Chain A
Amino acid sequence: MTVQTIREDSARAIAGGVAPRRWGSWYIAEHRIRAMKGYAGDAIFQSFGNPLIYLFALGVGLASLVPQGVGGVTYLQFVAPALMATAAMTVAANETSYPVLMGFKWNPIFFGMNASPITGAQIVNGMMIQIALRAVVTVAIYFGVIVLFGGVPSATGWLAIGAATLTGMAIGVVISSYTSTITEDRGQMAMLQRFGITPLFLFSGTFFPLEQLPIYLQPIGWISPLWHGTELGRVATYGLEEPIWLTVTHVGYLTTLFLVGLWATRKHFTRRLNK
Chain B
Amino acid sequence: MPQPVITASQLTKTYGDFTAVDAIDFEVAPGESFGLLGPTGAGKSTTMRMVGAVSTRTSGDLSILGLDPNAHGPDIRSQLGVVPQQDNLDQELRVRDNLLVYGRYFGLPRSVVAERADALLEFAQLADRRKSKVDDLSGGMKRRLTIARALINEPRILLLDEPTTGLDPQARHILWDRLFRLKEQGTTLVLTTHYMDEAEQLCDRLVVVDKGRIMAEGSPASLIREYSSKEVLEVRFGSDKNAEIAESIRDIGERHEVLPDRILIYTGNGEAELEQITQRGLQPITSLVRRSSLEDVFLRLTGRSLIE
Contact = CB atoms under 8 A, between A and B. Distances in A.
A18 to B, nearest CB: 7
Nearest to B31: A1
B106 interface: yes
Contact of B106 (A38, A109, A116): A116
A160 to B, nearest CB: 32
Interface string B53-81: 01110000000011100001111111110
B19 to A, nearest CB: 15
B110 to A, nearest CB: 9
B59 to A, nearest CB: 16
A158 interface: no
Contact of B90 (A10, A109, A118): A109
Interface string A4-42: 111101101110111111011001101100110010000
B178 interface: no
Interface in A87-138: 107-109, 111-119
Contact of B104 (A9, A30, A107): A30
Given A4-B30, A16-B79, A35-B90, A115 B54 contact: yes
A131 to B, nearest CB: 15
B74 A20 contact: yes
Contact of B105 (A12, A14, A116): A116
Contacts, number: 128
A273 interface: yes
A274 B88 contact: no
Interface residues of A, number: 41
B75 A17 contact: yes
Contacts of B80: 115
A49 B133 CA distance: 28
Contacts of A107: 88, 90-92
A190 interface: no
A53 to B, nearest CB: 27
B74 A17 contact: yes
A3 interface: yes
B56 A274 contact: yes
B186 A1 contact: yes
B52 interface: yes
Contacts of B3: 5-6
B91 A118 contact: no
Nearest to B83: A115
B82 interface: yes
B166 interface: no
Contact of A116 (B56, B77, B156): B77
A186 interface: no
B72 to A, nearest CB: 7
B84 A111 contact: yes
Contacts of A10: 65-67
Contact of A13 (B76, B88, B149): B76
Interface of A: 1, 3-7, 9-10, 12-14, 16-21, 23-24, 27-28, 30-31, 34-35, 38, 107-109, 111-119, 273-275
Given A111-B88, A116-B105, A117-B75, 15 more contacts: A3-B30, A7-B66, A9-B65, A9-B66, A13-B67, A13-B72, A28-B105, A34-B97, A35-B90, A109-B90, A116-B78, A117-B106, A118-B74, A273-B54, A274-B54
9 contacts: A14-B72, A17-B78, A21-B74, A31-B90, A111-B88, A115-B82, A273-B54, A274-B54, A274-B56
